Amino acid sequence: MKKIFYCFIVLLIFKFFIITESIAQDKPEYCIVVHGGAGNFNSSEFDTATYWKYYNSIKEVLLLGDSLLSNGIKAIDVVEKCAVIFENSPLFNAGKGAVINSKGEFELDASIMDGSNLKAGAVAGVKTVKNPIKLARMVMDSTAHVMLIGAGAEEFAFIKGIEIVDPEYFETPEVMKKYKSTVNDKNGTIGVVALDKYGNLAAATSTGGMMMKKYGRVGDSPIIGAGTYADSHYAAVSCTGHGEYFIRTLCAYNLVAAMKYANMNIVEAAENAILQIANLGGTGGLIAVDKYGNVVFNYNSKSMFRGYKKSNTNLVIEF
């Protein structure tokens, strides 16, 4: 009887090491995940040229992130640099191509968070900063604050040498056409989350907000815990959608909290976070990556621009 018992214990130990080794082999060395906004669109209805514009834009960001991470660049630097590429693209509602508020003005928001130390920076309502994500990073690194808004943020950008542009820089023919016809369906808030070689997680989100929003409105994207959150012990999250609902549920932190306090895995936590949005009547989505390199996309809108690249996988791009 003792012999059978000891054999059983040895078998369990052997099985444990097999499972552990399997997990170790599957875990990527690093991972980059991006979104280009959730909304009421169907990519099957895109003409060929439009489809490939979006595909190649997302691909460019993922390849940059992959290259940086493979060379040992930290996650916090990677999410910032990748977000800048998105902000410089006229395809998305962030930076160039941002939507217009009810007064015909651009008001841009962005945030960034380092999961290794829980430091964060954010800006809201900036009108002349070419890359709001750079300013959010500067707030994190060079002040004792987390968020700066409006004129104060603009002045801080000027003092720190962040590139300033004429508001007309943000205009695109598509946005101006929709503004003049009062169409408010522009999608494209952008987000980036990453896991680096050192096990650190980071997240960044940038947006122009909602088309025809009341001037002075701030959504979830620059609010740490609502639209952006990163904790290297759990996950990094970036959200997109109807921001008021993401603020009310603290969606990004809600996902991490579910992992931390309810012992959910990242898939369960993401489903729970979006379900709470849906139960309130809101729509949108999120991307997230956990400390093991597990990736999740979850959304209840019609679709979401999204993609990822792990050290041990090929590119994945979907929309």
- Quickly tell me which residue has 């991006």 as its tokens: 34
Non-local (6+) Cβ contacts of 175 within 8 A are 97, 98, 99, 100, 186, 211
Rounded CA separation 300/194 (Å):
23
**Residues facing residue 296 across a β-bridge:** 288
φ, ψ dihedrals at 222, nearest 5°: -90, 0
| Burial of 180: CB neighbours in 10 Å, binned 0-12, 13-18, 19+ | exposed
Parallel/antiparallel/unpaired status of strands 284-290 and 295-299: antiparallel
Of the candidates 189, 207, 228, 240, the residue annotated as catalytic is 189
φ, ψ dihedrals at 30, nearest 5°: -160, 170
Active site residue 240: no
Question: Taking CA 232 as the corner, what is the angle to CA 230 and CA 235, rounded to the nearest 5 degrees?
Answer: 55
Q: Does residue 264 contact residue 240 with C-beta atoms inside 8 Å? A: no
Starting at the edge strand found earlier in the chain, the sheet holding 108-114 runs: 147-149, 119-126, 108-114, 201-207, 190-195, 31-39, 303-310, 316-318
Helix (H, G, I), strand (E, B) or coil at 203: strand
Question: Taking CA 37 as the corner, what is the angle to CA 87 and CA 306, rounded to the nearest 5 degrees?
Answer: 95
Rounded CA separation 72/22 (Å):
24
Rounded CA separation 285/301 (Å):
7
| Residues classed as catalytic | 189
